[in-house]
Amino acid sequence: MFKKKITLKILLLLIFSDILETLLNLFFKKSALLDNGFVVNKFSDVFIFLKDMAFCPYLWLGICIAFLTFVIWSTILSRIDLSVAVPIASFSYIFIPISSIIFLHEKVTLLRWTGIFFILAGVIFVSLSSKEKEAL
Amino acid sequence: MQKGIPLILFLISLTSICDTVNQLFLKSAINSLTMPSPITIPKVVKFIFKLICTPRLWLSFLFSTLSLCFWLFILSRADLSFAFAADSMHYVFIAVASYFILKEKVGPKRWIGTILITIGIALISLS
């Protein structure tokens, strides 16, 4: 196992991957929003929905960012432990609601923020627990 | 509670399952090969070529495409701030599946984390 300390470069890469993940989901959401009011009633409607999607530039932009994120994430994981990387990468749980409020005009209630913080705490606990395995 | 939350939660769980299966295939595809060392360009090219010839990699791609289709459909219906947070339920699936199917030992920190995520998902579903 790697036990290397986190460097500024890795930290910046991690934050960059958070921002990319936020962008990726914003683009996906934008592409899905184009057919506002689209209702899928029959199973065949699903194919029409997917066909419309495939011609949306936001979707392809999102997929390109997904590839970039994958490359950056692989680089990060080759340098530091997953249990260190995941809690820092969880910033996207905060970035996404904030960007949803700004760019998508979604309303995030106090209850939803509370839920998000519970999930964030849970994700940090789960990723820290990989160290438990060595102790068991 | 928003209209149609049960359906959305069901669809998000499908995405999470597809993601989990995708990760399992990807991991086993990469594990079946040995990483080149020392890293030279011809060796890396050979490694990538071998990886492309692994059927499990294609199965992994298939599941990630499926997961993307579900995800787009979810996003057309639900708020991004809700869907992204609810997608973390795959942590719960993996913990439960590791315990019951793979008979792995799941430590107290992991259970605490899993329970916190479940509470969080319940709270955002109510909002």
Range with top average pLDDT, A93-107, B20-34, B44-58:
A93-107
Is residue A3 assigned to a domain? no
- Rounded Cα distance between B107 and A136, Å, is 8
Nearest CB partner across the interface for B127, out of A46, A111, A127: A111
**pTM: predicted TM-score of the whole model, two decimal places:** 0.76
Which is more confident, B9 or B100?
Answer: B9
Pairwise CB contact (< 8 Å): B110 & A49? no
Res. A1: pLDDT tops 70? no
Pairwise CB contact (< 8 Å): B120 & A33? no
Is residue A54 assigned to a domain? yes
Res. A53: pLDDT tops 80? no
Res. A36: pLDDT tops 60? no
Q: Please report the pLDDT score of residue A5 as a whole number.
A: 67
Q: Please report the pLDDT score of residue A65 as a whole number.
A: 92
Check: complex ipTM more than 0.90: no
Tens of pLDDT, residue by residue over B70-106, are 888 888 888 888 888 888 888 888 778 777 766 777 7
Pairwise CB contact (< 8 Å): A112 & B84? no
| Host domain of residue B116 | 5-126
Is residue A49 assigned to a domain? yes
Res. B127: pLDDT tops 80? no
Q: How far is A119 from chain B (nearest CA, A)?
A: 4
Instruction: Give the alpha-carbon dihedral of B86, A72, B67, B65, to 10 degrees.
Output: 170
Eight-class DSSP state of A40: -
Which is more confident, A9 or A36?
Answer: A9
Q: What is the mean pLDDT of residues B28-50?
A: 76
Count of domains forming chain B: 1
Burial A53-83 (b: 16+ CB within 10 A, else e): beebebbebbeebbeebeebbeebeebbbeb
Q: Please report the pLDDT score of residue B1 as a whole number.
A: 47
Calculate the alpha carbon distances from A122 to A63, A94, A125, B79, B110 in Å.
Answer: 28, 14, 5, 21, 8
For A37, the enclosing helix (H) or strand (E) is: none
Count of domains forming chain A: 1
Share of chain A above pLDDT 70, in %: 84
Q: How far is A35 from chain B (nearest CA, A)?
A: 8
Is residue A14 assigned to a domain? yes
Is residue A1 assigned to a domain? no
Pairwise CB contact (< 8 Å): B120 & A115? yes
| Host domain of residue A129 | 8-135
Which structure tokens are listed for A65? 């960012």
Is the CB of residue B42 less than 8 Å away from at least one CB of chain A?
no
